[in-house]
Structure 1
């Protein structure tokens, strides 16, 4: 019975559990006790306006920025309480697609995609290149692109190469930072479709931050809205138009009038 109860508890345990997460910069309280759960192999999108703390959220989860308090548990282990070496090991299970792609300008596209395989996993260069070509193909990049440098390819192709690099190490969890920013609508659709494909095929747990509602609807199984340092609403993507939350309603419809505008006027 005890083993059965333990198994049920493990099944119910979210992949990521965030509780009372706090982060301030002086008097600017960006995260004010944020709570959020993300299930294994679930794609959650956090929406919110510029300056609401979306990027700070990802940086504190991944350890790029120290939190002031709270907990971030991955598979039941609190990342914020880990030693530097323990946290480094945990980070090796993560993938992060930066807003600007963050490819290394001095490396070819092929070496960029293979970078994590060689540097983090110690894979022989030849084997890493073979795998890198496979992942490039999955995001629609021809082998010839591998010999080019990031400065020689389009923004959309750089996004694809960054996505290939992110998934090449087969991470458990991937964080997407404004994945469609700077892209035209057609390329934005393509990147979103690739993200959905990767999440579904590799059973990745995904957390995406964006202010692009079209992208959020395509990518997310569930959407959460960040406002005033907390998650003020969350639910299935199909339910967001019926949220009943005035802040969500104003944001997703791009309305000038509403509680967000009134608070901005008072500030």
Structure 2
């Protein structure tokens, strides 16, 4: 039986009168790929920011590999973050740095790696996401959207983290490039043994990269199950979300 990489219990957070997370409970098994789905404004991004320590919840707990991170600040939080990789929605590359330095940014600037070794490391991880060595000297502005996503993925895996987070990884990509990014995500999770946690509303992407899926609605996880259960869900919330019907328990705002 797999151990649990992320354990969230009764997580609450509000912004003024807006109660965004209302008691989230979620387990992510080690070495698996879990995707959290939900409509716009359902709290997916807020949940991710709580796990990353960007936001502090009002109550509840978050354990990473058995250690509680809720309430950590400063150096202690930074130490935990070294175990994480992150592929941001917009890739979040440094425009002023060449591709290779983007990929090797953390080992180069935080671990004191020599520029020669950092360059070699970046070439290795660029190759792992299907990019040629000559791309290393380009700047982000010279790359297509799909290439920037792949560079962002190379950077996310370059520190060989325990857990890697994906924030809407296929947003802004055409269907073919979206499929390629999903295949690379799945490849990296399998080959490196990462635990993957993704937030998205792209159902095609969900089916390609996930082992399990959790549906977040009105601040709570209302369903969690194996990806192959999406086609025959036993939950009316999941059925409505997957089919895109306006009628059902999910309230649609017009």
Shift of 1:26: 0.6
Aligned residues: 254
Q: Aligned pair in 2 of structure 1 residues 83, 65: CA closer, same or farther (>3 Å)?
A: closer
Match of 2:95 among 70, 81, 105: 105
Match of 1:167 among 151, 157, 160: 157
Question: Is 2:27 the partner of 1:37?
Answer: yes
Q: Deviations over 1:196-232 (max 9, x none)?
A: 0000000000100000001001100000000000100
Counterpart residue number, 1:117: 107
Task: Select the structure that is richer in helix.
Answer: 1
Shift of 1:117: 1.5
Report the secondary structure of 1:15's partner residue: strand
Name which of structure 1's ranges 214-223 and 63-72 shifts more when overlaid on structure 2: 63-72
Counterpart residue number, 1:53: 43
Give the 5 Å matches for 1:172-191.
Answer: 172-191=162-181
Question: Is 2:228 the partner of 1:221?
Answer: no
Shift of 1:44: 0.2
Q: Does the 8 Å contact 2:162/2:195 carry over to 1?
A: yes
Shift of 1:13: 4.2
Question: Is 2:24 the partner of 1:19?
Answer: no
Shift of 1:264: 3.5
Counterpart residue number, 1:8: none
Name which of structure 1's ranges 118-127 and 153-162 shifts more when overlaid on structure 2: 118-127
Counterpart residue number, 2:76: 86
Q: Which structure 2 residue ranges, 5 or more long, are not aligned?
A: none
Report the secondary structure of 2:111's partner residue: coil
Give the 5 Å matches for 1:127-142.
Answer: 127-142=117-132
Counterpart residue number, 2:142: 152
Shift of 1:133: 0.3
Q: Distance in 2 between matches of 1:14 and 1:235?
A: 15
Query: TM-score normalised to the size of structure 1?
Result: 0.92
CA RMSD between the two structures: 1.3
Counterpart residue number, 1:238: 228
Q: Does the 8 Å contact 1:13/1:76 carry over to 2?
A: no
Q: Distance in 2 between matches of 1:66 and 1:127?
A: 37
Shift of 1:64: 1.2
Larger radius of gyration: 1
Counterpart residue number, 2:247: 257
Query: TM-score normalised to the size of structure 2?
Result: 0.97
Q: Which structure 1 residue ranges, 5 or more long, are not aligned?
A: 1-10
Shift of 1:241: 2.0
State the 4+ residue runs in structure 1 displaced beyond 6 angstroms. Answer: none
